[in-house]
Amino acid sequence: MPIPLYDKASEAARYVLAQAQGRVPRAAVVLGSGLGSVADAINDAVEIPYNEIPHFVTSTVQGHDGKLIIGSCDGVDVVLMKGRVHFYEGYSMEEVTLPVRVFSLMGIQTLVLTNAAGGTALHLKPGSLMAITDHINMMGENPLQGPNDERFGPRFPDLTAVYTRAYVEAAHEVAREIGVVLSEGVYMALRGPSYETPAEIRMMRKLGADAVGMSTVPEAIVARHCGMSVFAISCITNVAAGLTASEISHNEVMEVGERAGKQLAELIVRLISRLVSANS
Ligand code: HPA
């Protein structure tokens, strides 16, 4: 008999809390490609490798570590995912999104998702930060497919407001305070792992995408299913295919991520306590 997803998530949640040395995280942050520097701002951290957590899988991608970091961020206990697993690695949607269900069962109500993305809106340049206000799921799968367990959430969850507006406003406030330009836009999620063709990017622009990437949407859908509030932000690491003469490389994506990731880290670090207090 396969273990029910709810039991897997519960076992993992119990394990993580037992390792957390008394910390009770109030927010979870998922770090995208090259965006690991948020972790530097975490004090008194406890690290838990994914391969020690029941039912977790480990990222196979360069630039993605594989551990949870639990510690204090600006006075608030948080859990960071340093390294995410992607659908294109061959993992199932259930595996990709298990950590989000675990965070929910740990009592966390605030989820912050970060990613590296290609800019399809012309004003987005390498290094730009874009708060995600909505998404288009072009991954061809939905993480909630299959039997629904009502203990997580309803069969047909509403996705009118996946990304909490008050969180986006709080991010604008922080961005103004630290002198960072923060755009807003629609994120389109694709399966990957190949980058897009110029013709695909022309189509995506017509469909309303401002940025494109290969993650975030499954986690956001599962988070909303569990009733969590979501803030998501893209670090634009490259102009999307065909919009400039240059080709796209994962090294460039990581380099820009690391550079612009410093700004993103500062923004996230200052934002977390505001998101948590907006919830209570
Ligand atoms: N396309 C898809 N995913 C990405 C890109 C891109 O151009 N850049 C970083 N992640």
Question: With bands split at pLDDT 50, 70 and 90, how would you rate the model's confidence at 114?
Answer: very high
Mean pLDDT over each residue of the chain, to the nearest integer? 93
Rounded Cα distance between 19 and 48, Å, is 8
Closest to 236 (Cα-Cα) out of 33, 53, 8: 33
Contact in structure between 139 and 228 (CB atoms under 8 Å)? no
Hey, which bits of 206-260 come out as E strands? 211-213, 229-239
- Is 122 exposed, middle or buried, given 0-12, 13-18 or 19+ CB atoms closer than 10 A? exposed
Question: Which residue's CA lies nearest to atom 2 of ligand 1?
Answer: 213
Catalytic residues: 33, 64, 86, 88-89, 116, 214-215, 238, 250
Judge if the beta carbon of residue 248 lies within 6 A of ligand 1. Answer: yes
* CB of 35 shorter than 6 A to ligand 1: no
Percent of the chain scored above 70 by pLDDT?
A: 98
Pick from 71, 59, 185, 164: nearest CA to 111: 164
Tokens of 244: 């400039």
What does the pLDDT look like over 180-194, one tens digit per residue? 999 999 999 999 999
Q: Calculate mean pLDDT across residues 15-42.
A: 89
Alpha carbon of 138 to ligand 1 centroid (Å): 14
CA distances from residue 162 to 8, 10, 102, 231 in whole angstroms, order as listed: 25, 24, 19, 9
144-174 pLDDT, tens digit per residue, is 999 999 999 999 999 999 999 999 999 999 9
Q: Which residue has the tokens 């340049």?
A: 125
Walk me through the domains of the chain, giving residue ranges and CATH numbers.
5-278 (3.40.50.1580)
Q: Could you tell me what percentage of the chain is helix, strand and coil, using 3-state DSSP and rounding each to the nearest 5?
A: 35, 25, 40
pTM: predicted TM-score of the whole model, two decimal places: 0.95
Give the C-alpha distances (Å, rounded to integers) separating 184 from 99, 169, 264.
26, 10, 14
Q: How many CB atoms lie within 10 A of CB 31?
A: 28
